[in-house]
A and B are shown apart, each in its own frame.
Chain A
């Protein structure tokens, strides 16, 4: 019973705020915050029960039946679920509290709380799902919340465009997810996890001939196809290459949303899905390799772009893309527990970094360009110190949670096989870049002297000089402090040991090499990469501030590539977006109006014309009839005479 309350409390809050928000207005937090906090407490209780060895699956109600298809909504509680429950409710509670300060006095205050409560409900139902369709339903539901919240400031065209883009790009991923789900049902006759997982091994050798309707032969392993199709959904949701383009634009939404949805929880749903479905992936080495390589690509690409961005939220957003790549790579290599471990610690420190960005942004009256910041560490001490802790965790600095999870991830990756060893090298290189860009952010934003105010009020959202910059209210700073503590403490809870038994990798490789010399070397290397990155950022941005511009001049091409995000958006615009609209327009004008409707009107005109023709002969004037008769007689006579 108390398990059902975990998602239902936020849902109740959503209903109340959605229906009566008009009257509740600026008291909205009094509804939403208690609901989510109680949800958190219940999640902790659930965690304790599961830690005590309790696991359960319970159906809620029969959702739909048709033929032999029968789907219930239900909830399942196990180790993976409770870990996610704690993450979601913790970050959600803190973000709810933070929002009180951040969105104070905003017009859409109640609406905002309604949506984040709805999001929390959907995300909790997603992680508690016991079947594929429920996973899909709430997968799209969190996407909806993301859409609504990105577009929260709907009067900004950029925010609306970003919201639409996020939804449509995710739909592209969900297209694959839907087909994967149908293939699961087609093959296994069920969409419930436990039935599917129980039968999975029997399907290891099954293949599907994809070209059968065309008379060809292309046998593909059923499980691989399922794995790849479902992974398409994860690529969209977790912003993996090539569907990562929506996530940075999603930063148009208010910052609490970036922290909750676009860093800590929703975007990790793809990683969660792969881990949740590990019994299927474990049976398909090929699907796993695709997952791992996609993750690694995303990891590198995100980091290279984060190096040059100047909008503080975008730096953190690309960092999120990169870190999601780490997690996905780990899952693809069979190190599910390490991937989820990193997901959890990342949830804490990345939420911290985003909320820190938000704190800076409100202190500077909605300035987001770090070139107009600097010297904030004395003015915003709490923000600064918590931000440094978050950055240290992100950079994998020893003894922070990020250090432990990244180390676990890289060691597991290395020990998974030859592909894993290659990807580990990239993982280490990315760790270097990660440390560099995160401390670039710290130094440029908080160190040096304040560079704001020099460009006056030309930006519209003008801000005063350095004197009126002050730390926001405690509802903003307290969540920062809590998250900072978690960003360190999460490394000492034994999360990995808790998850590892529930998320075994493929039988082929035993992840037991954690204590060999290789593990030690990777740990040392990872630490060195982190420290080098921080030192390099210090040297470049504090010691010799002219250096970045010189680098940019020297490697102009590379710099442009990174600054323009590898031109992926431009490529999509030219190859997909514009051709689609052009095709639609041409089809409409040239086919629908001209050909099809033209034919319809043509028939009508032909009928009318023949009617008119006939009418000529029916003029009612005797001389016309006489003429006709004469002409007819002449013709007949002529024919008769000639032949």
Chain B
């Protein structure tokens, strides 16, 4: 085991970080349910404390190794051998930090928006945080599945109890849709258990070579669970409904963290465990990603509801993530991970913005919320910043992620990269057209009286996100450096497994010329093997 994990020993960082919110939720149970203010402050304090606890991981993390770090390993059930084992590597660390970072904002943005069942709401949010963190750190498949499923319930409650008028339809749709996918995931886990040496250890299972036919079946079982979560086209229709009905905090968590679970699943399970199937189905996955990018953008162009617009833009942006993952090279995968973080920050922030305006005008319709620049200059400024980030303007976080994904894609196929780039033009069109109507022009007379600018609490939720947008935009390298070792190990792992497959599969990229061939060979990636092979 020592070659895949790095024992840090000492303080159980991850367990503390994961379960602290759950402890906070239990603590809330003891508080008088009428004491709304106390409840809010406790929830906020717990989430901030969790964030503070997670920050040392950033500096303690050793970027030189691809091994799992901060590992905790406790036998849980002996037969079947289920263990409580957690750890992080360069792929999960950014997502873990993203989760601890965003939860306090979800609590802050619900400060005034939620006035009914405050205690239950805050408890659900905190339980949700535990489940999400658990997904990213679990190293045992059963443990992973428990967290994965546990996530559904708080989210179902968030939408179904505190949601909009059509909340039940949206909540049930969300629940059933993701549950159907998860059931197949469970089947796949059981198959892996029996085929992979009677273990649920994710790292051990990743080192087993499965028969190609089995890999194909498992790939689609994983796909069912992960593609729904991402969501990949055409399994995306639950997303706009869920977003529209969910309270702001629910939308933020949904967009920022839950959607990342699917992509994380592909990276953590599909690629390492099923390299042959991944390589074989790459063209399909890339095609679906491309459709998501373009189709999602077109959908966003047609929306009159701000939340739906952003929901469809998520479909488009997550298309870049899955595209980056399945082009299977360093730029693509690192771009995809960075893009997950970026999408979490930017889209989360956009939902916060929509939530803020909804609290004022009680409408999410673009036509009801126009001309905000004049009455709400602070709001207009942050909305413009997040929108520009969302459309991938250089200097903001999203540009770096999209650029890396496109660079990785370009190596895979120039035409695919060209089509994906069209999504960036469309993004400018639907987002700027939204800005033109919402921020500029003249306020809608019916709502003009309610348009007071962001208050201190709301600014406190926006400013850190603005800082991150520019910080990652200008200094993405510290974040990328954390990923290098893990991503390279992942790619090498996929390469060695599928070298023999590579000889026979397509080589759609038109690399020519001696200089180029040697350069590609020097890249040491599977592409090199493909190009040099006749």
Q: In the complex, A467→B173 CA distance in Å? A: 72
Q: In the complex, A367→B65 CA distance in Å? A: 67
Q: Name A's interface SS.
A: helix
Q: Is A140's CB within 8 Å of the partner chain B?
A: yes
Q: Is A209's CB within 8 Å of the partner chain B?
A: yes
Q: Is B301's CB within 8 Å of the partner chain A?
A: yes
**Are B429's CB and A168's CB within 8 A?**
yes
**Are A580's CB and B301's CB within 8 A?**
yes
Residues on A with beta carbons closer than 8 Å to the beta carbon of B480: 64-66
Q: Which of these, A68, A167, A182, contacts B428 with CB under 8 Å? A: A167
Binary B-proximity of A442-467 (CB < 8 A = 1, otherwise 0): 00000000000000000000000000
Q: Chain B's nearest CB lies how many Å from the CB of A107? A: 9
Q: Chain A's nearest CB lies how many Å from the CB of B373? A: 5
What size tier do the contact residues of chain A reach? 35 or more
Q: In the complex, A160→B380 CA distance in Å? A: 14
Taking CB atoms and an 8 Å cut-off, the chain B residues in 416-444 that contact chain A are 417-418, 421-422, 424-425, 428-429, 432-433, 435-436, 439-442
A65-B484, A144-B388, A154-B439 known; A179-B417 Cβ under 8 A: yes
A137-B395, A167-B428 known; A585-B302 Cβ under 8 A: yes
**Are A189's CB and B519's CB within 8 A?**
yes
Q: Which of A260-268, A299-307, A596-604, A629-637 contacts B (4 or more CB under 8 A)?
A: A596-604
**Are A202's CB and B371's CB within 8 A?**
no
Q: Is B330's CB within 8 Å of the partner chain A?
A: yes
**Are A583's CB and B298's CB within 8 A?**
yes
Q: Chain B's nearest CB lies how many Å from the CB of A431? A: 36
**Are A178's CB and B421's CB within 8 A?**
yes
Taking CB atoms and an 8 Å cut-off, the chain B residues in 226-254 that contact chain A are 234, 236-238
Q: Which of these, B395, B413, B432, B525, contacts A213 with CB under 8 Å? A: B413
Q: Is B364's CB within 8 Å of the partner chain A?
A: no
Residues on A with beta carbons closer than 8 Å to the beta carbon of B415: 213
Residues on B with beta carbons closer than 8 Å to the beta carbon of A160: 436, 440-441
Q: Is B112's CB within 8 Å of the partner chain A?
A: no
Q: In the complex, A516→B371 CA distance in Å? A: 63
**Are A154's CB and B429's CB within 8 A?**
no
Taking CB atoms and an 8 Å cut-off, the chain A residues in 128-160 that contact chain B are 133, 136-138, 140-141, 144, 147, 151, 154-155, 157, 159-160
Q: Chain B's nearest CB lies how many Å from the CB of A292? A: 25
Q: Is B331's CB within 8 Å of the partner chain A?
A: yes
**Are A182's CB and B299's CB within 8 A?**
no
Q: Nearest A residue to B524 by beta-carbon distance?
A: A68
Q: Chain A's nearest CB lies how many Å from the CB of B415? A: 6
**Are A168's CB and B428's CB within 8 A?**
yes
**Are B298's CB and A587's CB within 8 A?**
yes
Q: In the complex, A438→B15 CA distance in Å? A: 75
Q: Is A164's CB within 8 Å of the partner chain B?
A: yes
**Are A144's CB and B299's CB within 8 A?**
no
A64-B477, A140-B394, A583-B298 known; A69-B407 Cβ under 8 A: yes
Q: Nearest B residue to A173 by beta-carbon distance?
A: B425
**Are B388's CB and A66's CB within 8 A?**
no
**Are A212's CB and B331's CB within 8 A?**
no
Residues on A with beta carbons closer than 8 Å to the beta carbon of B400: 64
Q: Chain B's nearest CB lies how many Å from the CB of A167? A: 6
Q: Nearest A residue to B380 by beta-carbon distance?
A: A154
Q: Nearest B residue to A136 by beta-carbon distance?
A: B394
Q: Which of B127-135, B186-194, B211-219, B508-516 contacts A (4 or more CB under 8 A)?
A: B508-516
**Are A186's CB and B331's CB within 8 A?**
no
**Are A207's CB and B512's CB within 8 A?**
yes
**Are A584's CB and B508's CB within 8 A?**
no
A154-B440, A154-B441 known; A604-B176 Cβ under 8 A: yes
Taking CB atoms and an 8 Å cut-off, the chain B residues in 484-521 that contact chain A are 484, 508-510, 512-513, 515-516, 519
Q: Is A611's CB within 8 Å of the partner chain B?
A: no
**Are B404's CB and A141's CB within 8 A?**
no
Q: Is B8's CB within 8 Å of the partner chain A?
A: no
Q: Which of these, A62, A65, A164, A213, contacts B433 with CB under 8 Å? A: A164
**Are A144's CB and B393's CB within 8 A?**
yes
Residues on B with beta carbons closer than 8 Å to the beta carbon of A172: 425
**Are B407's CB and A185's CB within 8 A?**
yes
Q: Is B410's CB within 8 Å of the partner chain A?
A: yes
Residues on B with beta carbons closer than 8 Å to the beta carbon of A151: 440
Q: Is B445's CB within 8 Å of the partner chain A?
A: no
Q: Is A588's CB within 8 Å of the partner chain B?
A: yes
Q: In the complex, A60→B414 CA distance in Å? A: 31
Q: Which of these, B418, B440, B522, contacts A68 with CB under 8 Å? A: B522
Q: Chain B's nearest CB lies how many Å from the CB of A388? A: 38
Binary B-proximity of A180-196 (CB < 8 A = 1, otherwise 0): 00110111010000000
Q: In the complex, A589→B425 CA distance in Å? A: 22
**Are A584's CB and B410's CB within 8 A?**
no
**Are B513's CB and A206's CB within 8 A?**
yes
Residues on B with beta carbons closer than 8 Å to the beta carbon of A222: 513
Binary B-proximity of A187-222 (CB < 8 A = 1, otherwise 0): 101000000000100110011111011000000001
Q: Is A592's CB within 8 Å of the partner chain B?
A: yes
Residues on B with beta carbons closer than 8 Å to the beta carbon of A69: 330-331, 404, 407
Q: In the complex, A138→B395 CA distance in Å? A: 9
Residues on B with beta carbons closer than 8 Å to the beta carbon of A186: 410-411, 414, 516
**Are A584's CB and B298's CB within 8 A?**
yes
**Are B417's CB and A65's CB within 8 A?**
no
A66-B335, A171-B424 known; A187-B395 Cβ under 8 A: no
**Are B299's CB and A600's CB within 8 A?**
no
**Are A588's CB and B299's CB within 8 A?**
yes
**Are A164's CB and B432's CB within 8 A?**
yes
**Are B177's CB and A600's CB within 8 A?**
yes
**Are B477's CB and A63's CB within 8 A?**
yes
Q: Is B357's CB within 8 Å of the partner chain A?
A: no
Most buried by B among A136, A147, A213, A222: A213
Q: In the complex, A157→B422 CA distance in Å? A: 27
Q: Chain B's nearest CB lies how many Å from the CB of A331? A: 25
Q: Is A23's CB within 8 Å of the partner chain B?
A: no
**Are B432's CB and A208's CB within 8 A?**
no
Residues on A with beta carbons closer than 8 Å to the beta carbon of B512: 206-209
Q: In the complex, A163→B432 CA distance in Å? A: 9
Residues on A with beta carbons closer than 8 Å to the beta carbon of B418: 179
Residues on A with beta carbons closer than 8 Å to the beta carbon of B329: 67
Q: In the complex, A168→B430 CA distance in Å? A: 10
**Are A587's CB and B295's CB within 8 A?**
yes
Q: Is A175's CB within 8 Å of the partner chain B?
A: yes
Q: In the complex, A157→B440 CA distance in Å? A: 8
Q: Is B481's CB within 8 Å of the partner chain A?
A: yes
Q: Chain A's nearest CB lies how many Å from the CB of B332? A: 9
Q: Nearest B residue to A148 by beta-carbon distance?
A: B384
Q: Chain A's nearest CB lies how many Å from the CB of B533? A: 16
Q: Is B476's CB within 8 Å of the partner chain A?
A: yes
Q: Is A542's CB within 8 Å of the partner chain B?
A: no
Q: Nearest A residue to B315 by beta-carbon distance?
A: A592
Residues on A with beta carbons closer than 8 Å to the beta carbon of B522: 68
Q: Is A161's CB within 8 Å of the partner chain B?
A: yes
Known: A65-B477, A141-B394, A206-B516. 10 other contacts (CB 8 A): A63-B474, A66-B480, A67-B331, A67-B334, A185-B407, A186-B414, A189-B519, A207-B512, A208-B512, A600-B237
Would you mind naming 13 contact pairs between A and B with Cβ atoms under 8 Å apart? A63-B477, A65-B477, A65-B480, A66-B334, A159-B440, A167-B428, A168-B432, A178-B403, A212-B509, A213-B510, A581-B302, A592-B237, A592-B299
Q: Could you tell me which A residues sit within 8 Å of B by CB distance?
A: 62-69, 133, 136-138, 140-141, 144, 147, 151, 154-155, 157, 159-161, 163-164, 167-168, 171-172, 175, 178-179, 182-183, 185-187, 189, 199, 202-203, 206-210, 212-213, 222, 580-581, 583-585, 587-589, 592, 596-597, 600, 604
Enumerate the 7 nearest inter-chain pairs by beta-carbon distance, A residue then B residue, closest first: A67-B330, A137-B394, A584-B301, A154-B440, A212-B510, A588-B302, A584-B302
Q: Could you tell me which B residues sit within 8 Å of A by CB distance?
A: 173, 176-177, 234, 236-238, 295, 298-299, 301-303, 329-331, 334-335, 371, 373-374, 388, 393-395, 399-400, 403-404, 406-407, 410-411, 413-415, 417-418, 421-422, 424-425, 428-429, 432-433, 435-436, 439-442, 474-477, 480-481, 484, 508-510, 512-513, 515-516, 519, 522-523, 525
